[in-house]
Chains A and B, each alone.
Chain A
């Protein structure tokens, strides 16, 4: 019979081994505390697209974030710590977004994640971020689901969404153009949600959807849809078509000269998608969150800083995507500064309900972060193509600005269920 004697040496060895294992595999939140140090740089993972459908917007988004980081580092960083950023291409692909987020958190040790243009990618990143408790800023994707059913405690959404833009445009357009509408919808999550928001508002204001034409993502030939629209003759076409599909659509509508009749309501035109194109490609009324010619204090200086930092960029002036990237990063760093710590829960609490004066954001109305949905409530601008301007960069004519209260996405508030603080892993970055 084998003896099983517990010696003091055995006990000591077992205790040390168990302790080491506990430190290694133990509650992740504590490990992260040990990894952080006050003299270490704050590491930020930039999760923007450098390839695929949104590569161009992703580059603009990134430039905005990097300008904010450069400005903070120039004045000594945040809490005495330098800001370091790492970028990995999310390829406009949700699966890649998940992989990149995992790598950013577990291998690059990023304490914060930021960046997205595609809502599918943003959703994928935010699921990983929530699992790890890492604060994630969705800078430029605009599906209502991002601050609705796919909201998370760690995620903050900086762009206006489809429901905001629809609210800004629908009533005005019914009065002006008529109540018979066709919806031209990209057949994926952002398109469906944006079209649903438009449909609900249309019905609320007495309009009718004559037809909804679902267009698969990746469509390059819109001739069938455009023929159908001609056969149906609606008063208004509300298009929720994004990315390269939208570029192909614009070109084909311009070739047919259909830009004015019927009236077109395009949800949002991102600056990188339209910059440098002929004006007839910019048909209809569309939404944006910012324009470089807004007659507001600080705008000219912002444009000058952009031009000084990026003298060789093809886009000579910043657009809405750059602006969102910059503002999101700036507010992330300011929130850490106000919190006085990089503890994620403290920073989240600092961001929830945070008010941003109109002057600081170079918009017409004060903005704030909705504590229920984590979406930035901000001014929405309706614009159209500006004809007759000598300045090639001055492509938009801003028609009006709508206050955040008037365009609030109430559907998102109903759909969003944020995780509790207790269910969110906590750590110091």
Chain B
């Protein structure tokens, strides 16, 4: 049992990180019924914006740039944590403007457009930051190792898991406790009624897509110190995010969070005891759940099931 506990703990932290990755994806799918295949690229874009902010890359080799990098890492990192997701969110809003022509048409158009956007964003990253591996600097306080129960854990990973909890709570409060959240949820439930009540549906969709993209960017800033930063880092994101929202039930906020934790636990535990199956375990979990419950863990009942 003492051998198992660290792996359970590790699986839980991993699950919280997966939840952060899936959060923006589930929001866009749930509200707009758009599968955003550019989610991974927006994730990468957020991380690269953070790289530019922390490293002062946008100032170039100027006196301002030199002054900026002479500042301690902590304020630069905090600024990156706030600004990079906002910039990724703005990029997401531009994408939503392009997506508008696909609304009301077959879903394939939206899929193709977001897939194309993913390729464009990845190439833009290559042009802007090069093809090589990059490194995101971290404040000393959250870098390094911490000893828990005689085993070494990464301080940063614990920080990232804690930060994920915070992000999950903030998004939940936004959706549940603010009038904007109420409108978004109403829009997801019955968009025509929301429009009839005088709300601007186009603006609502823009906001939701921006928020989803911003959350993808936030996940990017948070995850790349663990995964490393390269132009195609976002490729690793889309499949787990998609799997988690299907497992949790499309459109269900808590379904996604629970599914992410289950995926984290299954990957963490198989990683320790049957490591060759660690990646496969999440797919097996999906098959097991969807095999018995097609709408996922907390998904709404389909009209076809009545």
Residues of A at under 8 Å CB distance from B? Answer: 51-52, 55-56, 59, 187, 213-216, 218-221, 223-228, 230-231, 244, 247-248, 250-252, 255-258, 272-278, 281, 314-315
The answer, among A213, A221, A244, A257, for a CB contact under 8 Å with B144, is A257
| Chain A residues, Cβ within 8 Å of B132 | 56, 272, 275-276, 314-315
8 contacts between A and B (CB under 8 A): A215-B276, A221-B17, A221-B227, A228-B275, A231-B6, A252-B154, A255-B154, A275-B133
Cβ contacts under 8 Å, B225 to chain A: 251, 255
Say how far B278's CB is from chain A's closest CB, in angstroms. Answer: 6
Give the dominant DSSP class at A's interface: helix
Residue contact B275 to A225, C-beta cutoff 8 Å: yes
Contacts of B14 in A (CB 8 A): 221, 223
Knowing A59-B131, A214-B276 touch, does A251 contact B236 (C-beta < 8 A)? Answer: no
Chain B 269-293 interface 0/1 with A at a Cβ cutoff of 8 Å (1 = within): 1111001111110000000000000
| Most chain A Cβ neighbours within 10 Å, of B130, B132, B144, B278 | B132
> Is there contact, CB below 8 Å, between A256 and B154?
yes
Q: Are B230 and A230 interface neighbours, CB within 8 A?
A: no
Question: Which 7 pairs across A and B sit closest by C-beta, in order of nearness?
Answer: A224-B271, A214-B276, A216-B279, A247-B228, A255-B154, A224-B272, A257-B145
Measured CB to CB, the nearest residue on chain B to A258 is B152
Q: Give the residues from 232 to 256 in chain B that come closer than 8 angstroms, CB to CB, to chain A.
A: 232, 236
A255 CB contacts on chain B under 8 angstroms: 143-145, 154-157, 225-226
Considering only CB atoms, which chain A residue lies closest to B14 in the complex? A221
A53 (CB) vs chain B CBs: closest residue: B232
Which residues of A are found within 8 Å of B153, using beta-carbon distances?
256
Complex Cα distance, B152 from A258, in Å, reads: 9
Question: Does the CB pair B228–A248 fall under 8 Å?
Answer: yes
Q: Which residues of A contact B7 (CB under 8 A)?
A: 224, 227
Contact B145 A214 (CB under 8 A): no
Q: Give, as a whole number of angstroms, the nearest-CB distance from B150 to chain A.
A: 8
Tell me whether A56 and B133 are in contact (CB under 8 A). Answer: yes
A214 and B157 CA atoms in complex are apart in Å by 23
Chain A residue nearest in CB terms to B136: A251
Q: Which residues of A contact B232 (CB under 8 A)?
A: 51-52, 55
Which of B144, B145, B151, B271 contacts A225 (CB under 8 A)?
B271
Nearest A residue (CB) for B230: A244
Q: Smallest CB–CB gap between A87 and chain B, Å? A: 15
